[in-house]
């Protein structure tokens, strides 16, 4: 027989404490769960009583069989690796779906496929694939790490189904490249903004460094002065993004002359060379592109432009990788079609302007 008890929380709100008690074959089994609304508590009692009426259900319930949401919480709490921002956000989002309320023993390949179908409403296959990839980490760990009855083979069985149904797909490679005219407009705008508000981020220097160093947004804001090797014209990029590994993946990357010139002109006011917020940099870039009418240009496109430039200058795959930091040369095969046409950024006037301005403010 189920019961519901209304309780006042510390913040003054009410919680409805639902309890199910079932006795069979001399065994008493109890389960409790708290809800924000009484109807939800009543629905849960009805559902659990029906589930526990199935022969053998009580014996199975005695096994440690938490909900998927609880497993996600444990993974986040016990992981010694710092979760990336995207992964943490995805796992929090998954907890808001009905799948997170299911117990491990209730989740199989069919439930995972149904979850992907639910995700696909309003989301691209690439996004759904990202969700399923991060969820796959939880599914793979639950049984071997904690003994929970979540079958790791369920995700293995679900993956080919998801691909055949078109629910998941690999991320599309972007080929958008900024033009000289577009960057000239951006540099002019950010120069005026910096003149009006000197405390604003030096977006001109950040954009130029991103372009010539091929560094990602988050990598730029992590680089320390102690990570700079001026004589070797290189920089230590810490925790570089890499499939399957990020934390501790520190890589020395060559700095082309233009990138090194920008760095040496930056004032030493902090342990970091670019002591700014990555989200603020991205937001400023996106907002300004919209204001100037520059369509479909992302900050990350500067990295693609920088790598393409290296191949247009005649660099081989190994030499380009020494700048970009790609561990797998296969990742650079997308640039194999690029012809040697020279450096379109040669004698770009903004490098001299940026370094002069930075030195003036240091």
> Using one digit for the tens of pLDDT, what is the confidence trace for 318-350?
999 999 998 877 788 888 788 899 999 998 999
- CA distance linking residue 151 with residue 107, whole number of Å: 8
Are residue 141 and residue 227 in the same domain, yes or no?
A: no
Mean pLDDT score of the chain, rounded to an integer? Answer: 89
pLDDT level of residue 243 (50, 70, 90 thresholds): low
- Number of C-beta neighbours around residue 170 at 10 A: 10
Q: What is the DSSP letter of 224?
A: B
**Residue 104 belongs to a domain:** yes
pLDDT at 309: 96
Q: End of a domain among 12, 39, 61?
A: 61
The model's pLDDT over 116-128, given as tens digits with 9 standing for 90+, comes to: 999 999 899 999 9
For 150, half-sphere exposure in the C-beta direction (CA atoms, 13 angstrom radius) is: 31
The predicted structure's pLDDT at residue 319: 92
48 and 146 together in one domain: no
Q: Is the pLDDT of residue 259 over 70?
A: yes
Whether this prediction's pTM lies above 0.85 is answered by: no
Residues 302 and 350 in one domain: yes
SS3 330: helix
Helices (DSSP H) in the chain: which residue ranges?
A: 38-52, 57-61, 68-78, 85-94, 109-119, 125-146, 153-164, 180-196, 203-213, 217-220, 257-265, 278-292, 301-312, 317-324, 349-361
Do 193 and 287 touch, CB atoms closer than 8 A?
no
With a cut of 70, say whether residue 62 has pLDDT above it: no
Token pair listed for 353: 């302007």
300 and 193 in a common domain: yes
Based on the structure, what is the number of domains in the chain?
A: 3
Is residue 170 one of the residues assigned to a domain?
no
pLDDT of 292 reads 97
- Residue 331 and residue 189 in one domain: yes
The helix/strand count (H/E) of the chain reads as 15, 6
Assess if residue 295 is contained within a domain.
yes
Q: What is the mean pLDDT of residues 208-226?
A: 95
Boundary-marking domain end, from 164, 191, 210:
164
Give the list of residues 6+ apart from residue 319 with CB closer than 8 angstroms, or none: 310
Residue 307 has pLDDT above 90, yes or no: yes
Query: What pLDDT score does 247 carry?
Result: 54
Is the same domain home to 55 and 72? no
Q: Whole-angstrom Cα distance, residue 325 to residue 240? A: 8
CA–CA distances in Å: residue 310 to residues 93, 229, 254, 300 = 39, 21, 12, 16
Confidence of residue 29 (pLDDT cuts 50, 70, 90): confident
Whether residue 188 sits in one domain with residue 324? yes
pLDDT at 361: 61
Residue 171 lies in a domain: no
238 and 113, same structural domain? no
Q: Does residue 109 surpass a pLDDT of 70?
A: yes
Q: Pick the last residue of a domain from 164, 199, 216.
A: 164
Domain contains 196: yes
Greater pLDDT, 245 or 160: 160
User: Does any domain span residue 173?
Assistant: no
Same domain, 149 and 204: no
What CA–CA distance (Å, rounded) separates 69 from 98? Answer: 10
- Residue 172 falls within a domain, yes or no? no
Within-domain flag for 253: yes
Segments forming the whole domain that contains residue 231 = 180-361
Is the C-alpha dihedral spanning 137, 143, 148, 151 positive or negative?
positive
């Amino acid at each position: 027989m189920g019961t519901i008890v209304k309780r006042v929380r510390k913040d003054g709100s009410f919680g409805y404490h639902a309890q199910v008690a079932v006795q069979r074959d001399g065994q008493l089994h109890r389960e409790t769960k708290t809800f924000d609304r009484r109807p939800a508590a009543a629905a849960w009692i009805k559902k659990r009583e029906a589930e526990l009426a199935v022969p053998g259900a009580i014996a199975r319930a005695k096994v440690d069989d938490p909900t998927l949401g609880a497993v996600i919480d444990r993974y986040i709490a016990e992981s010694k690796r710092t979760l990336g921002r995207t992964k943490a956000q995805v796992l929090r989002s998954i907890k808001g779906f009905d799948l997170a309320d299911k117990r491990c023993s209730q989740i199989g390949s069919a439930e995972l496929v149904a979850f992907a179908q639910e995700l696909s409403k309003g989301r691209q296959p690439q996004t759904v694939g990202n969700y399923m990839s991060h969820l796959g980490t939880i599914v793979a760990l639950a049984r071997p790490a904690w003994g929970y009855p979540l079958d790791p083979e369920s995700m293995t069985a679900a993956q080919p189904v998801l691909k055949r149904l078109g629910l998941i797909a690999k991320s599309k490679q972007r080929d958008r490249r900024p033009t000289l005219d577009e960057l000239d407009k951006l540099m002019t705008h950010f120069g005026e903004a910096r003149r009006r508000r000197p405390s604003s981020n030096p977006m001109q220097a950040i954009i130029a460094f991103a372009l010539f160093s091929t560094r990602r947004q988050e990598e730029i804001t992590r680089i320390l002065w102690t990570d700079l090797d001026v004589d070797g014209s290189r920089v230590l990029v810490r925790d570089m993004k890499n499939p399957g590994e990020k934390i501790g993946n520190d890589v020395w990357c060559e700095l082309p002359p233009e990138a090194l010139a920008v760095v040496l002109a930056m004032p030493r006011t902090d342990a970091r060379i670019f002591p700014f917020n990555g989200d603020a940099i991205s937001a400023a870039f996106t907002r300004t592109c919209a204001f100037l009418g520059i369509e479909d240009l992302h900050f990350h496109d500067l990295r693609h432009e920088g790598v393409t430039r290296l191949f247009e200058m005649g660099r081989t795959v190994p030499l380009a990788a020494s700048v970009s930091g790609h561990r797998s040369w296969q990742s650079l095969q997308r640039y194999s079609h690029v012809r040697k046409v020279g450096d379109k950024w040669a004698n770009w006037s903004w490098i001299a302007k940026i370094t002069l301005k930075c030195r003036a403010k240091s």
